[in-house]
Amino acid sequence: MVSPVLRVGFVPGVEPDHFARRWRAGERGARLELVPVALSRQEAALAAGEVDMCFQREAPAREDLHRIPLWEERPAIVVGTENALSLLEEIADADLVDETEILQEGPDDAVDRVAVVASGIGYARMPLSLARLHHRRDAVHRPATDGTPTTISLVWPRESDDDLRQEFVGVVRGRTVRSSR
Protein backbone atom coordinates (compact mmCIF):
# COMPACT_ATOMS: atom_id res chain seq x y z
CA MET A 1 0.00 0.00 0.00
CA VAL A 2 1.27 3.45 -0.89
CA SER A 3 1.44 5.85 2.04
CA PRO A 4 -0.42 9.14 1.67
CA VAL A 5 1.44 12.32 0.77
CA LEU A 6 0.90 15.69 2.41
CA ARG A 7 1.91 18.45 -0.03
CA VAL A 8 2.80 21.67 1.77
CA GLY A 9 3.49 24.76 -0.30
CA PHE A 10 5.71 27.61 0.79
CA VAL A 11 6.30 31.08 -0.65
CA PRO A 12 9.78 32.56 -1.24
CA GLY A 13 11.52 33.54 1.96
CA VAL A 14 9.85 30.84 4.06
CA GLU A 15 12.20 28.06 5.08
CA PRO A 16 10.08 25.01 6.00
CA ASP A 17 13.07 22.68 6.58
CA HIS A 18 12.70 22.89 10.36
CA PHE A 19 9.13 21.58 10.15
CA ALA A 20 10.09 18.91 7.61
CA ARG A 21 12.84 17.60 9.90
CA ARG A 22 10.40 17.44 12.81
CA TRP A 23 7.83 15.67 10.61
CA ARG A 24 10.38 13.08 9.51
CA ALA A 25 11.69 12.59 13.05
CA GLY A 26 8.34 11.19 14.12
CA GLU A 27 6.82 7.99 12.86
CA ARG A 28 4.19 9.50 10.60
CA GLY A 29 1.72 7.66 8.44
CA ALA A 30 2.34 9.98 5.50
CA ARG A 31 5.20 11.38 3.48
CA LEU A 32 5.71 15.15 3.52
CA GLU A 33 6.37 16.86 0.19
CA LEU A 34 7.46 20.53 0.21
CA VAL A 35 6.39 22.50 -2.85
CA PRO A 36 7.79 25.97 -3.70
CA VAL A 37 4.95 28.33 -4.65
CA ALA A 38 5.33 31.78 -6.22
CA LEU A 39 3.81 34.53 -4.09
CA SER A 40 1.46 35.39 -6.96
CA ARG A 41 0.14 31.80 -6.89
CA GLN A 42 -0.14 31.19 -3.15
CA GLU A 43 -3.94 31.23 -3.17
CA ALA A 44 -4.37 29.65 -6.62
CA ALA A 45 -2.11 26.68 -5.80
CA LEU A 46 -4.23 25.90 -2.77
CA ALA A 47 -7.53 26.41 -4.63
CA ALA A 48 -6.40 24.18 -7.51
CA GLY A 49 -5.33 21.39 -5.15
CA GLU A 50 -1.66 21.65 -6.18
CA VAL A 51 -0.86 21.75 -2.45
CA ASP A 52 -2.82 20.55 0.58
CA MET A 53 -1.63 23.34 2.86
CA CYS A 54 0.47 26.42 2.22
CA PHE A 55 2.73 28.77 4.16
CA GLN A 56 1.44 32.10 2.82
CA ARG A 57 2.56 35.70 3.22
CA GLU A 58 -0.21 38.13 4.20
CA ALA A 59 -2.92 35.49 3.76
CA PRO A 60 -6.40 37.05 3.85
CA ALA A 61 -8.89 35.87 6.47
CA ARG A 62 -11.60 33.90 4.69
CA GLU A 63 -14.48 31.79 5.94
CA ASP A 64 -13.59 28.85 3.70
CA LEU A 65 -9.97 28.62 4.90
CA HIS A 66 -8.24 27.73 8.14
CA ARG A 67 -5.51 30.29 8.76
CA ILE A 68 -2.99 30.08 11.57
CA PRO A 69 -0.74 33.16 11.83
CA LEU A 70 2.72 31.85 12.73
CA TRP A 71 5.25 34.66 12.75
CA GLU A 72 5.90 38.19 11.61
CA GLU A 73 8.67 39.10 9.21
CA ARG A 74 10.58 42.27 9.89
CA PRO A 75 10.60 44.79 7.04
CA ALA A 76 13.89 45.59 5.32
CA ILE A 77 15.44 48.14 3.01
CA VAL A 78 17.77 46.94 0.25
CA VAL A 79 20.37 49.32 -1.22
CA GLY A 80 23.47 49.00 -3.36
CA THR A 81 26.80 48.66 -1.57
CA GLU A 82 27.90 52.03 -2.96
CA ASN A 83 24.92 53.81 -1.38
CA ALA A 84 25.75 55.76 1.81
CA LEU A 85 22.73 54.09 3.48
CA SER A 86 24.61 50.79 3.33
CA LEU A 87 26.76 52.08 6.22
CA LEU A 88 23.79 52.25 8.60
CA GLU A 89 22.81 49.39 10.93
CA GLU A 90 19.09 50.13 10.50
CA ILE A 91 17.25 52.46 8.13
CA ALA A 92 14.41 54.80 9.10
CA ASP A 93 11.99 56.51 6.75
CA ALA A 94 13.73 59.82 7.54
CA ASP A 95 16.96 58.38 6.04
CA LEU A 96 15.14 57.73 2.73
CA VAL A 97 13.87 61.26 2.04
CA ASP A 98 16.29 62.01 -0.81
CA GLU A 99 16.30 58.47 -2.22
CA THR A 100 14.23 56.92 -5.02
CA GLU A 101 12.11 53.94 -4.06
CA ILE A 102 11.98 51.10 -6.58
CA LEU A 103 8.32 50.22 -6.17
CA GLN A 104 6.92 46.73 -6.29
CA GLU A 105 5.24 46.13 -9.65
CA GLY A 106 4.15 42.58 -8.93
CA PRO A 107 4.25 40.06 -6.10
CA ASP A 108 7.15 38.10 -7.63
CA ASP A 109 9.51 40.95 -8.55
CA ALA A 110 11.76 41.07 -5.45
CA VAL A 111 14.78 39.64 -7.28
CA ASP A 112 14.39 42.23 -10.06
CA ARG A 113 14.11 45.11 -7.60
CA VAL A 114 17.25 43.91 -5.80
CA ALA A 115 19.07 43.88 -9.15
CA VAL A 116 18.01 47.47 -9.83
CA VAL A 117 19.20 48.77 -6.45
CA ALA A 118 22.42 46.79 -6.80
CA SER A 119 23.13 48.84 -9.93
CA GLY A 120 23.15 51.93 -7.71
CA ILE A 121 19.62 53.21 -8.25
CA GLY A 122 17.48 53.87 -5.19
CA TYR A 123 16.23 51.41 -2.60
CA ALA A 124 13.63 48.66 -2.31
CA ARG A 125 11.37 47.66 0.58
CA MET A 126 10.59 44.02 1.22
CA PRO A 127 10.35 41.50 4.06
CA LEU A 128 13.75 40.72 5.55
CA SER A 129 13.41 37.06 4.56
CA LEU A 130 13.10 38.03 0.87
CA ALA A 131 16.02 40.42 1.15
CA ARG A 132 18.13 37.58 2.58
CA LEU A 133 16.91 35.15 -0.07
CA HIS A 134 17.93 37.48 -2.91
CA HIS A 135 21.20 38.64 -1.33
CA ARG A 136 23.99 39.61 -3.71
CA ARG A 137 27.51 40.97 -3.24
CA ASP A 138 26.64 44.36 -4.70
CA ALA A 139 23.60 44.97 -2.46
CA VAL A 140 22.95 45.00 1.28
CA HIS A 141 19.79 44.76 3.33
CA ARG A 142 19.12 46.58 6.56
CA PRO A 143 16.17 46.31 8.95
CA ALA A 144 13.62 49.08 8.42
CA THR A 145 12.72 50.79 11.68
CA ASP A 146 9.48 52.32 10.39
CA GLY A 147 8.09 49.58 8.18
CA THR A 148 5.10 47.35 8.74
CA PRO A 149 5.85 43.67 9.40
CA THR A 150 4.31 40.99 7.20
CA THR A 151 2.73 37.83 8.59
CA ILE A 152 3.38 34.26 7.54
CA SER A 153 0.41 31.94 8.09
CA LEU A 154 -0.30 28.28 7.51
CA VAL A 155 -3.47 28.04 5.38
CA TRP A 156 -5.66 25.15 4.18
CA PRO A 157 -9.27 24.66 3.06
CA ARG A 158 -11.79 24.02 5.85
CA GLU A 159 -13.53 21.38 3.72
CA SER A 160 -10.27 19.41 3.47
CA ASP A 161 -9.45 19.41 7.17
CA ASP A 162 -8.46 15.95 8.37
CA ASP A 163 -6.22 14.15 10.86
CA LEU A 164 -3.20 14.40 8.55
CA ARG A 165 -3.43 18.18 8.27
CA GLN A 166 -4.03 18.47 11.99
CA GLU A 167 -0.94 16.36 12.61
CA PHE A 168 1.11 18.83 10.53
CA VAL A 169 -0.44 21.74 12.46
CA GLY A 170 0.78 20.01 15.61
CA VAL A 171 4.30 19.79 14.19
CA VAL A 172 4.24 23.48 13.27
CA ARG A 173 3.01 24.38 16.76
CA GLY A 174 5.75 22.33 18.40
CA ARG A 175 3.88 19.21 19.43
CA THR A 176 5.83 15.98 19.25
CA VAL A 177 4.56 12.49 18.44
CA ARG A 178 4.39 11.77 22.18
CA SER A 179 2.57 14.97 23.19
CA SER A 180 -1.16 15.37 23.14
CA ARG A 181 -3.33 18.26 22.11
pTM of the model: 0.91
Q: Please tell me whether residues 124 and 93 are part of one structural domain.
A: yes
Residue 26 has pLDDT above 90, yes or no: no
Q: Please tell me whether residues 154 and 68 are part of one structural domain.
A: yes
Q: Decide: 46 and 55 in contact? Cβ < 8 Å.
A: no
Report if residue 61 sits inside a domain.
Answer: yes
Q: Please tell me whether residues 132 and 98 are part of one structural domain.
A: yes
Domain that holds residue 124: 75-143
pLDDT, tens digit, 9 for 90 and up, residues 84-123: 999 999 999 999 999 999 999 999 999 999 999 999 999 9
Q: Please tell me whether residues 66 and 95 are part of one structural domain.
A: no
Q: What is the mean pLDDT of the chain?
A: 94
pLDDT for the residue numbered 178: 57
Phi, psi at 83, each rounded to 5°? -75, 135
Q: Please tell me whether residues 44 and 132 are part of one structural domain.
A: no
- pLDDT confidence of 44, banded at 50, 70, 90? very high
Q: Please tell me whether residues 11 and 57 are part of one structural domain.
A: yes
Q: Decide: 64 and 28 in contact? Cβ < 8 Å.
A: no
Question: What CATH number is attached to the domain comprising 167?
Answer: 3.40.190.10
Residue 142 has pLDDT above 90, yes or no: yes
Residue 141 belongs to what H/E stretch?
strand 139-143
Q: Decide: 113 and 92 in contact? Cβ < 8 Å.
A: no
Report if residue 58 sits inside a domain.
Answer: yes
Among 96, 99, 102, residue whose Cα is nearest residue 115: 102
Residue 7 has pLDDT above 90, yes or no: yes
Report if residue 92 sits inside a domain.
Answer: yes
Q: Please tell me whether residues 10 and 68 are part of one structural domain.
A: yes
Q: Distance (Å, rounded) from C-alpha 48 to C-alpha 28? A: 26
What's the domain count of the chain? 2
